[in-house]
Amino acid sequence: MATEAQLIANRRNALKSTGPCTPEGKAIASQNSVRHGLSAAKDVISSESQADFDLHRNRIIDELAPVSPMESILVDRIVTLTWRLKRVGRFQNQTIDTLNTDNSDPSPFKKLTQSLLLKYQSQPPLSSASADHLPLGRLAVKDFGNARVLERLLMYERRIENSLYKTLLEFQRLNIARKLKEGGF
Protein backbone atom coordinates (compact mmCIF):
# COMPACT_ATOMS: atom_id res chain seq x y z
CA MET A 1 0.00 0.00 0.00
CA ALA A 2 1.28 3.47 -0.88
CA THR A 3 2.08 5.98 1.82
CA GLU A 4 0.23 9.29 2.09
CA ALA A 5 3.28 11.12 0.68
CA GLN A 6 3.35 8.76 -2.33
CA LEU A 7 -0.36 9.29 -2.96
CA ILE A 8 0.09 13.06 -2.90
CA ALA A 9 3.10 12.81 -5.25
CA ASN A 10 1.13 10.54 -7.60
CA ARG A 11 -1.78 12.98 -7.71
CA ARG A 12 0.59 15.91 -8.34
CA ASN A 13 2.30 14.01 -11.18
CA ALA A 14 -1.03 12.98 -12.68
CA LEU A 15 -1.97 16.65 -13.05
CA LYS A 16 1.09 17.15 -15.27
CA SER A 17 0.14 14.27 -17.61
CA THR A 18 -2.74 15.62 -19.67
CA GLY A 19 -2.17 13.68 -22.85
CA PRO A 20 -2.46 15.19 -26.33
CA CYS A 21 -4.39 18.46 -26.54
CA THR A 22 -4.59 19.20 -30.26
CA PRO A 23 -6.91 17.29 -32.62
CA GLU A 24 -3.83 16.14 -34.57
CA GLY A 25 -2.18 14.82 -31.39
CA LYS A 26 -5.37 13.05 -30.34
CA ALA A 27 -5.68 11.44 -33.77
CA ILE A 28 -2.10 10.17 -33.56
CA ALA A 29 -2.55 8.91 -30.00
CA SER A 30 -5.72 7.07 -30.99
CA GLN A 31 -3.58 4.84 -33.25
CA ASN A 32 -1.11 3.88 -30.48
CA SER A 33 -2.63 0.43 -29.99
CA VAL A 34 -2.83 -0.44 -33.71
CA ARG A 35 -0.38 -3.27 -34.29
CA HIS A 36 -1.28 -5.13 -37.45
CA GLY A 37 -4.88 -4.26 -38.30
CA LEU A 38 -6.17 -7.82 -38.57
CA SER A 39 -8.59 -7.20 -35.70
CA ALA A 40 -8.87 -3.43 -36.05
CA ALA A 41 -11.98 -1.57 -34.99
CA LYS A 42 -11.78 0.53 -38.16
CA ASP A 43 -12.08 -1.12 -41.55
CA VAL A 44 -9.40 0.92 -43.31
CA ILE A 45 -5.99 1.28 -41.67
CA SER A 46 -3.50 4.03 -42.48
CA SER A 47 -1.61 2.07 -45.15
CA GLU A 48 -4.80 1.30 -47.11
CA SER A 49 -6.92 3.35 -49.48
CA GLN A 50 -10.37 4.46 -48.36
CA ALA A 51 -11.37 4.68 -52.05
CA ASP A 52 -10.38 1.03 -52.61
CA PHE A 53 -12.39 0.00 -49.57
CA ASP A 54 -15.43 2.00 -50.73
CA LEU A 55 -15.27 0.33 -54.15
CA HIS A 56 -14.95 -3.10 -52.49
CA ARG A 57 -17.89 -2.32 -50.19
CA ASN A 58 -20.12 -1.04 -53.01
CA ARG A 59 -19.46 -4.10 -55.16
CA ILE A 60 -20.40 -6.49 -52.35
CA ILE A 61 -23.52 -4.51 -51.44
CA ASP A 62 -24.56 -4.45 -55.11
CA GLU A 63 -24.02 -8.20 -55.41
CA LEU A 64 -25.76 -9.23 -52.18
CA ALA A 65 -28.48 -6.54 -52.32
CA PRO A 66 -29.57 -6.61 -48.66
CA VAL A 67 -33.23 -5.79 -48.03
CA SER A 68 -33.80 -6.03 -44.28
CA PRO A 69 -31.84 -4.35 -41.50
CA MET A 70 -30.44 -7.73 -40.39
CA GLU A 71 -29.30 -8.51 -43.94
CA SER A 72 -27.60 -5.09 -44.03
CA ILE A 73 -25.78 -5.85 -40.78
CA LEU A 74 -24.60 -9.19 -42.15
CA VAL A 75 -23.50 -7.60 -45.44
CA ASP A 76 -21.49 -4.99 -43.50
CA ARG A 77 -19.83 -7.84 -41.62
CA ILE A 78 -19.11 -9.65 -44.91
CA VAL A 79 -17.54 -6.46 -46.30
CA THR A 80 -15.30 -6.13 -43.24
CA LEU A 81 -14.28 -9.79 -43.22
CA THR A 82 -13.49 -9.93 -46.94
CA TRP A 83 -11.43 -6.74 -46.63
CA ARG A 84 -9.49 -8.22 -43.71
CA LEU A 85 -8.97 -11.43 -45.68
CA LYS A 86 -7.38 -9.37 -48.46
CA ARG A 87 -5.26 -7.61 -45.83
CA VAL A 88 -3.95 -10.86 -44.38
CA GLY A 89 -2.91 -11.95 -47.87
CA ARG A 90 -0.94 -8.72 -48.29
CA PHE A 91 0.60 -9.31 -44.87
CA GLN A 92 1.75 -12.77 -45.84
CA ASN A 93 3.31 -11.58 -49.09
CA GLN A 94 4.99 -8.57 -47.54
CA THR A 95 6.23 -10.59 -44.56
CA ILE A 96 7.89 -13.10 -46.86
CA ASP A 97 9.36 -10.25 -48.93
CA THR A 98 10.57 -8.45 -45.80
CA LEU A 99 12.20 -11.51 -44.35
CA ASN A 100 13.74 -12.35 -47.69
CA THR A 101 15.09 -8.81 -48.11
CA ASP A 102 16.82 -8.79 -44.71
CA ASN A 103 20.14 -10.48 -45.51
CA SER A 104 21.49 -10.04 -41.98
CA ASP A 105 19.17 -12.67 -40.44
CA PRO A 106 20.82 -16.13 -40.42
CA SER A 107 17.92 -17.68 -38.50
CA PRO A 108 16.29 -21.00 -39.42
CA PHE A 109 13.11 -19.00 -39.99
CA LYS A 110 14.78 -17.14 -42.83
CA LYS A 111 15.85 -20.45 -44.36
CA LEU A 112 12.23 -21.64 -44.13
CA THR A 113 11.04 -18.40 -45.70
CA GLN A 114 13.52 -18.72 -48.55
CA SER A 115 12.45 -22.30 -49.20
CA LEU A 116 8.80 -21.14 -49.25
CA LEU A 117 9.75 -18.43 -51.72
CA LEU A 118 11.45 -20.93 -54.00
CA LYS A 119 8.46 -23.23 -53.81
CA TYR A 120 5.63 -20.71 -54.17
CA GLN A 121 6.99 -17.68 -56.04
CA SER A 122 7.78 -17.60 -59.71
CA GLN A 123 9.60 -14.26 -59.52
CA PRO A 124 13.07 -13.66 -58.06
CA PRO A 125 13.40 -12.25 -54.52
CA LEU A 126 13.38 -8.50 -54.05
CA SER A 127 16.61 -6.57 -53.70
CA SER A 128 17.08 -4.51 -50.55
CA ALA A 129 16.84 -1.35 -52.67
CA SER A 130 13.17 -2.02 -53.47
CA ALA A 131 12.06 -2.67 -49.89
CA ASP A 132 10.15 0.63 -49.52
CA HIS A 133 6.81 -1.01 -50.34
CA LEU A 134 6.94 -3.38 -47.34
CA PRO A 135 5.35 -1.48 -44.41
CA LEU A 136 2.85 -4.21 -43.48
CA GLY A 137 5.52 -6.90 -43.66
CA ARG A 138 7.91 -4.92 -41.46
CA LEU A 139 5.09 -4.30 -39.01
CA ALA A 140 4.21 -7.99 -38.86
CA VAL A 141 7.81 -9.02 -38.31
CA LYS A 142 8.20 -6.44 -35.54
CA ASP A 143 4.85 -7.25 -33.93
CA PHE A 144 5.19 -11.02 -34.00
CA GLY A 145 8.79 -10.93 -32.79
CA ASN A 146 10.18 -12.77 -35.81
CA ALA A 147 8.88 -16.10 -34.49
CA ARG A 148 6.31 -18.18 -36.35
CA VAL A 149 5.11 -15.11 -38.25
CA LEU A 150 3.60 -16.98 -41.15
CA GLU A 151 1.97 -19.50 -38.84
CA ARG A 152 0.29 -16.70 -36.93
CA LEU A 153 -0.84 -15.01 -40.12
CA LEU A 154 -2.35 -18.30 -41.28
CA MET A 155 -4.15 -18.57 -37.93
CA TYR A 156 -5.65 -15.09 -38.46
CA GLU A 157 -6.57 -16.03 -42.01
CA ARG A 158 -8.37 -19.21 -40.84
CA ARG A 159 -10.28 -17.29 -38.17
CA ILE A 160 -11.35 -14.60 -40.61
CA GLU A 161 -12.41 -17.22 -43.18
CA ASN A 162 -14.38 -19.13 -40.56
CA SER A 163 -16.22 -15.95 -39.52
CA LEU A 164 -16.81 -15.04 -43.14
CA TYR A 165 -18.32 -18.43 -44.00
CA LYS A 166 -20.59 -18.37 -40.93
CA THR A 167 -21.75 -14.86 -41.79
CA LEU A 168 -22.38 -15.79 -45.43
CA LEU A 169 -24.42 -18.83 -44.37
CA GLU A 170 -26.51 -16.73 -42.00
CA PHE A 171 -27.06 -14.13 -44.73
CA GLN A 172 -28.16 -16.84 -47.16
CA ARG A 173 -30.46 -18.37 -44.55
CA LEU A 174 -32.13 -15.01 -43.88
CA ASN A 175 -32.36 -14.26 -47.59
CA ILE A 176 -34.02 -17.60 -48.37
CA ALA A 177 -36.39 -17.29 -45.41
CA ARG A 178 -37.44 -13.80 -46.56
CA LYS A 179 -37.99 -14.98 -50.13
CA LEU A 180 -40.06 -17.96 -48.93
CA LYS A 181 -42.15 -15.63 -46.76
CA GLU A 182 -42.68 -13.28 -49.70
CA GLY A 183 -43.57 -16.22 -51.97
CA GLY A 184 -40.54 -15.70 -54.19
CA PHE A 185 -39.70 -19.42 -54.41
Report pLDDT digits (tens) over 33-51.
445 555 556 788 888 889 9
pTM flag (> 0.85): no
* pLDDT in the model for residue 129: 45
Give the mean pLDDT of 111-120.
54
Could you report the per-residue pLDDT of 63-103, keeping only the tens digit for each?
Answer: 999 999 999 999 999 999 999 999 988 888 887 777 666 55
* CA dihedral sign of residues 103, 109, 115, 116: negative
Whole-number Å distance between alpha carbons of 181 and 185: 9
Give the mean pLDDT of 139-165.
77
